Amino acid sequence: WRPETFDRVLVDVPCTGLGALRRRPEARWRRRPEDLDGFAPLQRGLLHEALRSVRVGGVVGYATCSPHLAETRAVVADVLDEWDGVELLDAPALLPEVPLTGEGPDLQLWPHVHGTDAMYLALLRRTA
C-alpha cells in the first residue's frame, strides 16, 4: 500500500507475551531478559510503518500483550521523539467504561484488576 492511505491502523506487535502468563505459565521459563533486545527494534519499526500508512488526522493503535515498559511506553516514547506531527491521545478518556487503567494517556490492563491478560494500548494521531 501507499503511504498515507488509511484512516485507522491497529498494530498488535509481536512481543515477549509476558502479559499472557496467566494462560501460559510455562512461558515464564522460556523467556530471558535479552529477549527484549530483539523485540523493541521490531516494535518501533512496525509503529513507524503504521504511522506512515495513516493520513493526516488518522489514528494508530499500538497494542501489545506485554506489560514490560521496554515494550510499551518506551517504544511509544522513542517513536514520538522521532516523529514531528504525531500526538498521543488520551486512551482512558476514550474508553471510560474501562476502570483503573493507570496514570497517563495510555491504557494498561492487568489480570488481577481487569480479569484479562496484561494488555497495553496507546493511541497516536497524525497531525502533520
Q: Is residue 48 part of a domain?
A: yes
Backbone angles phi, psi at 28, to 5 degrees: -60, -25
Catalytic residue, candidates 65, 109, 123, 124 = 65
User: Mean of the pLDDT values across residues 69-91?
Assistant: 97
pLDDT digits (tens, 9 = 90+) for 57-79: 999 999 999 999 999 999 999 99
Total structural domains within the chain: 1
C-alpha distances (whole Å) from 110 to each of 22, 27, 66 are 11, 17, 10
Rounded-to-integer distance, Cα 90 and Cα 26, Å = 35
Q: Cell for 4?
A: 498515507
- Band of the pLDDT at 25, cuts 50, 70, 90? low
Mean pLDDT across the chain: 90
pTM of the model: 0.91
CATH number at residue 32: 3.40.50.150
Q: Is residue 104 part of a domain?
A: yes
Q: Is residue 1 part of a domain?
A: no
Q: Cell for 119?
A: 494488555
Q: Is 15 a catalytic residue?
A: no
Is residue 64 within 8 Å of residue 15, measured between CB atoms? yes
| Domain range for 112 | 6-126
Q: Is residue 93 part of a domain?
A: yes
